[in-house]
Amino acid sequence: MAAKKHRKGQTRRANGEDSSKKSARKADEPGAKDTVDRPQDDSPGHQDLTDLSAIEPFVVKDPEAMARNMAHMVEEMGKAAAAWVKPRETGEKTDSLSGPATDIVNTFSKLSEYWLSDPKRSIEAQTHLLSSYFDIWSGSMRKMSGEETVDPAASHLKDRRFADEDWQNNAFFSFLRQVYWVTSDWADKLVKDADGLDPHTRHKAAFYVKQLTSALSPSNFVLTNPELYKDTVEESGENLVRGMRMLAEDIRAGKGDLRLRQTDYDKFAVGENLALTPGKVIAQSEICQVIQYAPATEKVLKRPLLICPPWINKFYILDLNPQKSFIKWAVEQGHTVFVISWVNPDERHAGKDWEAYAREGVGFALDTVEKVTGERKVNAIGYCVGGTLLAATLALFAKEGDNRVASATFFTTQVDFVHAGDLMVFADAENIDSIEENMKAHGYLDGSKMATAFNMLRASELIWPYVVNNYLKGKEPMPFDLLYWNSDATRMPAANHSYYLRNCYLENNLSNDRMVLAGKTISLKDIKIPVYNLATREDHIAPARSVFIGSGCFGGKVTYVMSGSGHIAGVVNPPDRKKYQYWTGGKPVGEFDAWVAKAKEHPGSWWPHWQSWIEKQDHHMVDPREPGGGKLNSIEDAPGSYVRVRV
């Protein structure tokens, strides 16, 4: 009742305005003719505080329904809490936060120590922040008076989290946005200017600050996000009820951990609308299946093509659908394509190390290709960590006199890890010790752990937008095949993962001729075959600079190509989509920035450029080869059963 009286009072005060203002507002209504001159003080972004239509979307219309839905929301939150607690009470799940939590505290302690150790430096930093806040406050006051002001966060206006017009037009939310960005930029500057920190600690501090600022963005909370606030008012809180119900469902789906849904999982199924290129599983070991795809041309290249994908993700990123499939495209270019499909490991695979993946994976697949086609010479592709394994295996094979791989292509693959990007945050000695301790319980690293780490690399794009959409807006995410694949996580065998983290990220042994595999110290310089080394410009996992530096580790001729976009989109870029671009240049020697400055840009996909490179290695053609080639029986249809196992 009081609310109604208050609104009536506002209406009476509004009716007392001069007629020119009312006429101006009326002219702004949809369909109205602009017959009245607008007030001269109506500067861009200025909000007329006496205009009830501006605040109407923020006023609760049905307090009773809102109260009822708030009660339902609390009930659903209780269910979510119960889903989190239950597996911990039964002992099915235990939490070990000491590792990451301790690392964050230690990192920020070192950062704080640097700034507090010099009072003058500390006071200057605090004064800079406080003066920025004062400027925002005074600017907001002037803006409310109709004056034009300078937005100190103008450089961030294109951020999609702040797309709603009220982030600029509404004085309160504009103030929050500016304070957020000024504080975030200030925190980033604290890290960048901390000259007393060692490079690794500074890198970790920058990463953790980014995670913190992403989490604390006002766009992530109902009361500080105008779009969420208006949605909640309009629906009387029903959005929050749906959101908390989804939260409980996602915690149950994660068996006590949050399995953040990024897409509608019910819309996709491997083998039904994903991974559709026709083929057969023709061989199988304990750690992989080997798939051969059916030919699609009257003649095929004499050299077969073997693809070694990462085991951290599933191979069908290269066969999402017929429009995006690199595998289908390669078949249509005349390749006899074989793909390794890695097992989703469990306790039985705990002892499978890099040698096992080299022998029972890459070596087993090469044996299969030779048995089916009769060809000893093979073109091989390795993607991401699959490429790192392939490079190490080729170095081992070179020691042993095995020369079956005649050319190697690497997609976003690191062999030198000095500039390995933000994943280095998780790969120092303390974190690796914690990961190894975690893997002891079951003999593997749970796939959700790695998926979370990858999502954290782009938290403002891969975590918080879905938290807002799912649990605060209460909306189901849109179906998207790439995000379905991204959520289709795999486990990592303890021995394999520990070897990878220590030899590559921690000690950088592979590029320094120190890696010991199968009892032999291997060297990438022994790889004399032609190499096509693809990087992507915006890669967060295998930075283009890191891939460029790695090019100098091989002993043969290396063709370095940089594609536009990132780790996935830069690789999965079919020519007919005419998206992005790629750069080619001279030998990958000297400074990376100098190479980029002189490189030639080409529009569209790099795929045809790679095909031309492959044909220069050996262009001879033969009759097409059916899966199995009459030598091996089909075990099952592609994409096989290993790839269908979910965690």
- Look up 288 and say whether it is catalytic: no
By the 10 Å C-beta count (0-12 exposed, 13-18 middle, 19+ buried), 331 is classed as buried
The alpha carbon of residue 69 and the mean position of all alpha carbons in its chain are separated, in whole angstroms, by: 35
Between β-strands 300-301 and 621-622, what pairing exists: parallel, antiparallel or unpaired? antiparallel
Between CA 335 and CA 324 the distance in angstroms is: 17
Between CA 351 and CA 106 the distance in angstroms is: 33
Q: Between the CA of residue 335 and those of 295, 374, 559, what are the distances in Å?
A: 8, 15, 21
Query: Residue 355 — left, alpha, or beta (φ > 0 → left; ψ -120 to 50 → alpha)?
Result: alpha
| Tokens of residue 552, six digits | 């100098």
SS3 293: strand
Are 300 and 335 a contacting pair, CB within 8 Å? yes
Burial pattern 45-83, b for ≥16 Cβ within 10 A else e, equals: bbbbeeeeeeeeeeeeeeeeebeebeebbeebbebbeeb
Between β-strands 531-536 and 405-411, what pairing exists: parallel, antiparallel or unpaired? parallel
Are 570 and 563 a contacting pair, CB within 8 Å? yes
Find the catalytic residue in 288, 308, 384, 504.
Answer: 384
Between CA 66 and CA 284 the distance in angstroms is: 58
* H/E stretch holding 444: strand 444-445
Are 153 and 177 a contacting pair, CB within 8 Å? yes
| Tokens of residue 365, six digits | 């697949």
Half-sphere exposure of 92 (CA within 13 A, CB side): 11
Between β-strands 288-293 and 337-342, what pairing exists: parallel, antiparallel or unpaired? antiparallel
Q: What are phi and psi of 138, to 5 degrees?
A: -65, -35
Catalytic positions, please? 384
